[in-house]
């Protein structure tokens, strides 16, 4: 028996875990790590199932090659040769834009997913680059890009010190927080209330978070922008604003907000005018306050405007970049993602729908169009890394239909599932216990400065490849170096780039140092570990991989501190409250809400024991309360005459789904969780709990125009009893 320490790789909470393993390498127990200064022993049912997940008998252990409907196991050599032939032929015949890449959510949680993303994208040099960002948080990058000149200037609520937390469209007691890494959100919110603070939740559903809060305000899906404008209108109209940053556009904002009186916004969003006014007054009066929002407002038709106004309210109440308000994390690893370049979107546009690029990517909502529509630049091949787009993308079934038309598809994924079944080759990463772990991305949004590295718990078996090596070899293949090129050479190039960047950066404490000497001092057992060591040594705390190894429970680096001045990168040097592209989207907002509104709107929900599309094969995580059902208010059940099952129809498609009547959801709104609809996968447990694909209803033709983000919340649907009216 032995004990190992490991950060949980599943969700954004980055909990520290303490594992017990037997001599054969089986995980016999998973507990929260009481000595982790950040998560302090917290664990949820998903983390507790990490052992089962890790040893899932349905996980792929070796590369798989598809021949027609038949799959066979293959050696890595054969698999990479085939990938090289398939991808190279497409590039040589049709050009680089014919090869698309998708980086799915788990790439945000692995070291390899972070470290090879840019090299792979650069080597690919295709406009058809896609990631989970455009079915998730891209509106936040765009709004902060325009406001602060830095698309990564994502401020997190200072949950542990604030006196007032307004949560709009997030359910951290079940999602465990996102763009706000805070293990054990529940205890943190309890602490907030115990110190006399207040928590208010705006959500069409009375979620676990809403039920815990002091106050829950139901809102009509997709209309949070109105609520937020009503708050801005009150703050400015009642002279409650205390702006303590250098800003541009305050007067323009005042003019823009003028039409959104509390009475006017009430008519659209359904939150009574009196409450809108009171929220504004409470936010302004609280000693400190923070407004926090996530998926409920981000994957919505006006996602970018909503993210913008959340920061605006935090600025107008004097809470931006100050303790107790919203602040920026200072990460231990050098922030190589901050480019210092001026920010804009639309440097190029997608071929079929003419959608603007954002952060170098096109929206996932148009990937199927680019595959399906013939012509110069048509996508003919796809590299999908940790993605299950048939279940995750808007109108996923459309991808299910068009993926078989590709000339070649390769997936890096541990499962043969709804999406990877279309691949020609699947390259499986090793077991979770065989991967070292560092959260390059999630640690940039922690509510305290914190760091933790987990070495691999078990070594790779003979002939097994690390995910780093898989991605490195893919990178070498798309750069034209073939299936046998040496991944170590790529790692050296990446290291060289990191070190040279730091040495050449203006004002860097490493300016002028000798890159070869810095390189010689690096330590680590793999490319990504050497890269981490470099980034820690070049980072603001002067840490190292060795230091992190000596502190397996993680290191607390102190509370967040103001740092906007350092990040602000607008041409004016000021915060832009009324950036032209943001303001330009207001006309679309007015038009969208001037006519009659749909009678029933579909929204999503996250479930405590699910994680997007990939945990349903773990027996402990399915069944009981974790089912794919449609939440419907009892008044709607009666009005629509629903029985046990309902037919839900949208412009994109239809599903038949079990009805779960609950007064936790407001009338006129129904909710279906995503990540279900398990079909054609070899995941035996998941197939027995199939559920339906929520994204058979979401419409890829409707997007948040500024960011291209998918719209999962506020989808117009009709709901009818099964067996009638078909
Ligand atoms: N209707 C609706 N749709 C949604 C959402 C919603 O709220 N409503 N939410 C959206 C959001 S926020 C997100 S982030 C996306 C997520 O959607 P995706 O990007 O598709 O991500 P996941 O479903 O989390 O996992 C995708 C794949 O990663 C594989 N995987 C797991 N671990 C690893 C690993 O270590 N390495 C590799 N290579 N693969 C791994 C899994 O087997 C799975 O096939 O879904 C989006 N879709
Ligand atoms: N257990 C679990 N945890 C997860 C995940 C998971 O699948 N399961 N996924 C992870 C991922 S990829 C992400 S991005 C995060 C997301 O983290 P969260 O955003 O906290 O997760 P959701 O449960 O989607 O919360 C969105 C809330 O918005 C509400 N909502 C829907 N439409 C609207 C609207 O128009 N306005 C308002 N105000 N609210 C609305 C929904 O009812 C829901 O309660 O969670 C992460 N953590
Ligand atoms: S809350 Fe998230 S990080 Fe923590 S144990 Fe659960 S799944 Fe893992
Ligand atoms: Mo996400």
pLDDT, tens only, 566-614: 999 999 999 999 999 999 999 999 999 999 999 999 999 999 999 999 9
Which two structure tokens, joined as six digits, stand for 50?
A: 């990490």
* Mean pLDDT, rounded, for 19-32: 96
What's the rounded Cα separation, in Å, for the pair 219 and 260? 16
Instruction: Give the number of the atom of ligand 3 that is nearest the alpha carbon of residue 43.
Output: 5
Q: Residue 239: count other Cβ atoms within 10 Å of its Cβ.
A: 8
Q: Which ligand is nearest to the CA of 611?
A: 2
Dist. CA 209 → ligand 2 center (Å): 11
SS3 590: helix
Domains identified in the chain and CATH numbers: 2-54 (3.30.200.210), 64-135+339-437+456-551 (3.40.50.740), 155-327 (3.40.228.10), 598-721 (2.40.40.20)
Q: Residue 726: its pLDDT value, please?
A: 44
Q: Which of 105, 167, 169, 672 has most ligand 2 atoms within 8 Å of its beta carbon, as the pocket-test mutant?
A: 169
Q: Whose CA is nearest to atom 8 of ligand 3?
A: 47
Instruction: Give the number of the atom of ligand 2 that is nearest the alpha carbon of residue 294.
Output: 19
Q: Whose CA is nearest to atom 6 of ligand 2?
A: 611
352 within 8 A of 365, measured Cβ to Cβ? no
Summarised one tens digit per residue, pLDDT across range 660-700 is: 999 999 999 999 999 999 998 899 999 999 999 999 999 99
Q: Confirm or reject: Cβ of 605 under 6 Å from ligand 2.
A: yes
SS3 199: strand
* Mean pLDDT, rounded, for 237-244: 97
- Sole residue written with tokens 């279900």: 676
Dist. CA 42 → ligand 3 center (Å): 8
Q: What is the pTM of this model?
A: 0.98
* Mean pLDDT, rounded, for 626-632: 97
Q: Confirm or reject: Cβ of 398 under 6 Å from ligand 3.
A: no
| DSSP bridge pairs for 320 | 326
What's the rounded Cα separation, in Å, for the pair 153 and 561? 14
- 8-17, 293-302, 357-366, 505-514 — which is least confidently predicted? 505-514
Strand spans (E) along 318-421:
326-327, 381-385, 408-412
Reported residue count of the chain is 726
50 within 8 A of 68, measured Cβ to Cβ? no
Summarised one tens digit per residue, pLDDT across range 154-184 is: 999 999 999 999 999 999 999 999 999 999 9
| DSSP bridge pairs for 199 | 165
Q: Confirm or reject: Cβ of 43 under 6 Å from ligand 3.
A: yes
Residue 328 has pLDDT above 60, yes or no: yes
Using a 6 Å CB cutoff, which residues line ligand 1?
Answer: 104-106, 110, 132, 135-136, 295, 299, 385-389, 392, 412-415, 417, 429, 467, 604, 612-614, 674-675, 694-695, 698, 712
- Sole residue written with tokens 């412009």: 651
**φ, ψ at 198 (rounded to 5°):** -130, 140
What's the rounded Cα separation, in Å, for the pair 252 and 64? 58
Q: Which of 178, 600, 669 has most ligand 2 atoms within 8 Å of its beta carbon, as the pocket-test mutant?
A: 178
Which two structure tokens, joined as six digits, stand for 440?
A: 């390059």
Burial class (CB in 10 A: 0-12, 13-18, 19+), 23: exposed
Q: Confirm or reject: Cβ of 46 under 6 Å from ligand 3.
A: yes
What's the rounded Cα separation, in Å, for the pair 602 and 599? 10
Dist. CA 663 → ligand 2 center (Å): 19
Summarised one tens digit per residue, pLDDT across range 241-276 is: 999 999 999 999 999 999 999 999 999 999 999 999
Instruction: Give the number of the atom of ligand 1 that is nearest the alpha carbon of residue 388.
Output: 20
Burial class (CB in 10 A: 0-12, 13-18, 19+), 219: buried
Identify which has the larger pLDDT, 20 or 507: 20
Q: How far is residue 697 CA from its own chain's centroid?
A: 21
Dist. CA 84 → ligand 2 center (Å): 39
Dist. CA 695 → ligand 4 center (Å): 15
Nearest to 312 by CA among 249, 222, 366, 262: 249
Q: Confirm or reject: Cβ of 709 under 6 Å from ligand 2.
A: no
Dist. CA 132 → ligand 4 center (Å): 7
338 within 8 A of 166, measured Cβ to Cβ? no
What's the rounded Cα separation, in Å, for the pair 405 and 391? 18
Summarised one tens digit per residue, pLDDT across range 400-446 is: 999 999 999 999 999 999 999 999 999 999 999 999 999 999 999 99
What's the rounded Cα separation, in Å, for the pair 716 and 650? 6
Q: Which of 173, 175, 218, 662 has most ligand 2 atoms within 8 Å of its beta carbon, as the pocket-test mutant?
A: 175
Q: Confirm or reject: Cβ of 612 under 6 Å from ligand 2.
A: yes
CA-to-CA dists, residue 172 to 13, 49, 191, 213, 620, angstroms:
10, 20, 15, 12, 21
Q: Confirm or reject: Cβ of 631 under 6 Å from ligand 2.
A: no
Q: Which ligand is nearest to the CA of 204?
A: 2
Burial class (CB in 10 A: 0-12, 13-18, 19+), 401: middle
Q: Which ligand is nearest to the CA of 170?
A: 2
Dist. CA 395 → ligand 1 center (Å): 15
Does an H or E element contain 575, and which? strand 575-576
What's the rounded Cα separation, in Å, for the pair 460 and 624? 36
410 within 8 A of 86, measured Cβ to Cβ? yes
- Sole residue written with tokens 């000595």: 35
Dist. CA 567 → ligand 1 center (Å): 30
Q: Residue 507: its pLDDT value, please?
A: 84
Q: Which ligand is nearest to the CA of 609?
A: 2
What's the rounded Cα separation, in Å, for the pair 652 and 650? 5
What's the rounded Cα separation, in Å, for the pair 29 and 48? 8
Secondary-structure breakdown of the chain: helix, strand, coil percentages, each rounded to the nearest 5: 35, 20, 45
Q: Which residues, at least 6 apart from 583, have a Cβ–Cβ distance to it below 8 Å? A: 252, 256
Which two structure tokens, joined as six digits, stand for 691?
A: 């559920």
Q: Which residues, at least 6 apart from 584, have a Cβ–Cβ distance to it below 8 Å? A: none
Q: Which ligand is nearest to the CA of 390?
A: 1
Strand spans (E) along 442-548:
448-451, 453-454
Residue 258 Rama label (left phi>0; alpha psi -120 to 50; beta): alpha
Q: Confirm or reject: Cβ of 300 under 6 Å from ligand 2.
A: yes
Rg of the Cα atoms in the chain: 25
Instruction: Give the number of the atom of ligand 2 that is nearest the alpha carbon of residue 202.
Output: 38
* Mean pLDDT, rounded, for 270-296: 98
Helix axes 273-285, 262-269, angle to 10 degrees: 120
What's the rounded Cα separation, in Å, for the pair 266 and 272? 5
Q: Confirm or reject: Cβ of 363 under 6 Å from ligand 2.
A: no
Own/partner contacts of 685-690, CB < 8 Å, gap of 24 or more, are 685/58, 685/616, 685/617, 685/618, 685/619, 685/622, 686/417, 686/616, 686/617, 686/622, 689/616, 689/622, 689/623, 689/627, 689/628, 690/628
Q: Confirm or reject: Cβ of 681 under 6 Å from ligand 2.
A: no
Which two structure tokens, joined as six digits, stand for 661?
A: 């009547």
SS3 646: strand
Q: Whose CA is nearest to atom 40 of ligand 2?
A: 296
Which two structure tokens, joined as six digits, stand for 28?
A: 């016999």
Q: Which ligand is nearest to the CA of 48?
A: 3
**φ, ψ at 112 (rounded to 5°):** -65, -40
Summarised one tens digit per residue, pLDDT across range 110-157 is: 999 999 999 999 999 999 999 999 999 999 999 999 999 999 999 999
Q: Percent of the chain having pLDDT more than 70? A: 100
Q: Which ligand is nearest to the CA of 385?
A: 1
In order, the DSSP letters of 81-128 are: HHHHHHHHHHHHHH-GGGEEEEE-GGGGSSHHHHHTHHHHHHHH--S-
308 within 8 A of 146, measured Cβ to Cβ? yes
Instruction: Give the number of the atom of ligand 2 that is nearest the alpha carbon of residue 222.
Output: 35
SS3 272: coil
| DSSP bridge pairs for 721 | 646
Q: Residue 724: its pLDDT value, please?
A: 55
Q: Residue 725: its pLDDT value, please?
A: 47
């Amino acid at each position: 028996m032995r004990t190992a320490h490991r950060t949980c790789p599943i969700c954004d909470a980055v909990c520290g875990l303490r594992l017990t393993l037997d001599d054969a390498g089986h995980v016999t127990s998973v507990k929260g790590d009481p000595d982790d200064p950040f998560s302090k022993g917290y664990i949820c049912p998903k983390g507790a199932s990490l052992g089962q997940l890790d040893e899932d008998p349905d996980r792929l252990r070796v590369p798989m090659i598809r021949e027609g409907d038949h799959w066979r196991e293959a050696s890595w050599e054969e698999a990479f040769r085939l990938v090289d032939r398939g991808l190279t032929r497409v590039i040589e015949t049709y050009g680089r834009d014919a090869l698309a890449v998708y980086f799915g959510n788990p790439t945000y949680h692995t070291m390899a997913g972070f470290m090879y993303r840019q090299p792979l994208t650069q080597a690919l040099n295709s406009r058809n680059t896609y990631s989970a960002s455009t079915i998730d948080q891209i509106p936040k990058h765009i709004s902060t890009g325009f406001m602060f000149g830095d698309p990564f200037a994502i401020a997190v609520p200072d949950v542990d010190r604030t006196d007032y937390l307004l949560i709009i469209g997030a359910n951290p007691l079940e999602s465990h927080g996102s763009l706000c890494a805070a293990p054990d959100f529940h205890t943190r919110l309890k602490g907030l209330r115990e110190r006399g603070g207040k928590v208010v939740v705006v959500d069409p559903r009375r979620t676990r978070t809403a039920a815990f809060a002091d106050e829950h305000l139901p809102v009509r899906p997709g209309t949070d922008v109105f609520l937020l404008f009503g708050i801005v209108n009150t703050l400015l109209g009642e002279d409650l604003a205390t702006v303590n940053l250098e800003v541009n556009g305050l007067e323009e904002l005042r003019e823009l907000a003028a039409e959104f009186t509390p009475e006017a916004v009430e008519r659209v969003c359904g939150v009574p005018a009196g409450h809108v006014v009171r929220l504004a007054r409470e936010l302004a009066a609280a000693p400190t306050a923070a407004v926090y929002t996530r998926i409920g407002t981000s994957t919505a038709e006006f996602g970018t405007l909503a993210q913008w106004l959340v920061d605006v309210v935090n600025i107008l109440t004097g809470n931006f970049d100050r303790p107790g308000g919203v602040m920026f994390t200072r990460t231990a690893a050098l922030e190589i993602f901050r480019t210092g370049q001026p920010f804009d979107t639309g440097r190029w546009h997608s071929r079929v729908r003419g959608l603007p690029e954002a952060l170098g990517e096109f929206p996932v909502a148009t990937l199927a169009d680019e595959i399906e529509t013939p012509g110069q630049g048509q996508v003919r091949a796809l590299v999908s890394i940790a993605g299950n787009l048939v279940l995750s993308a808007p109108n996923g079934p459309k991808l299910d239909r068009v993926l078989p038309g590709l000339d070649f598809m390769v997936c890096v994924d541990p499962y043969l599932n709804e999406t990877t079944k279309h691949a020609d080759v699947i390259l499986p990463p090793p077991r979770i216990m065989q991967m070292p772990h560092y959260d390059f991305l999630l640690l940039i949004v922690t509510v305290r400065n914190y760091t933790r590295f987990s070495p691999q718990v078990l070594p790779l078996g003979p002939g097994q490849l690390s995910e780093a090596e898989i991605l490195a070899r893919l990178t070498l293949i798309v750069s034209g170096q073939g299936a046998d090129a040496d991944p170590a050479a790529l790692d050296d190039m990446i290291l060289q780039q990191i070190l040279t960047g730091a040495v050449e950066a203006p004002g860097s404490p490493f300016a002028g140092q000798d890159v070869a000497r810095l390189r010689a001092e690096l330590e680590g057992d793999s490319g990504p570990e050497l890269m981490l060591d470099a980034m820690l040594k070049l980072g603001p705390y002067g840490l190292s991989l060795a230091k992190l190894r000596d502190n397996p429970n993680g290191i607390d680096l102190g509370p967040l501190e103001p740092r906007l001045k350092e990040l602000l990168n607008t041409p004016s040097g000021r915060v832009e409250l009324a950036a032209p592209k943001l303001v330009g989207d207001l006309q679309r907002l007015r038009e969208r809400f001037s006519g009659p509104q749909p009678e029933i709107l579909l929204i999503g929900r996250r479930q405590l024991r699910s994680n997007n599309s990939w945990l349903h094969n773990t027996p402990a995580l399915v069944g009981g309360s974790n089912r794919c059902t449609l939440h419907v208010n009892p008044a709607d059940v009666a009005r629509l005459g629903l029985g046990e099952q309902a037919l839900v129809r949208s412009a994109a498609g239809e599903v038949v789904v079990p009805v779960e009547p609950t007064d936790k959801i407001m009338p006129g709104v129904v909710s279906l969780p995503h990540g279900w609809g398990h079909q054609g996968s070899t995941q035996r447990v998941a197939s027995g709990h199939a559920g339906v694909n929520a994204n058979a209803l979401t419409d890829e033709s409707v997007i948040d125009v500024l960011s291209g983000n998918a719209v999962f919340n506020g989808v117009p649907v009709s709901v009818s009893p099964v067996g009638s009216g078909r």
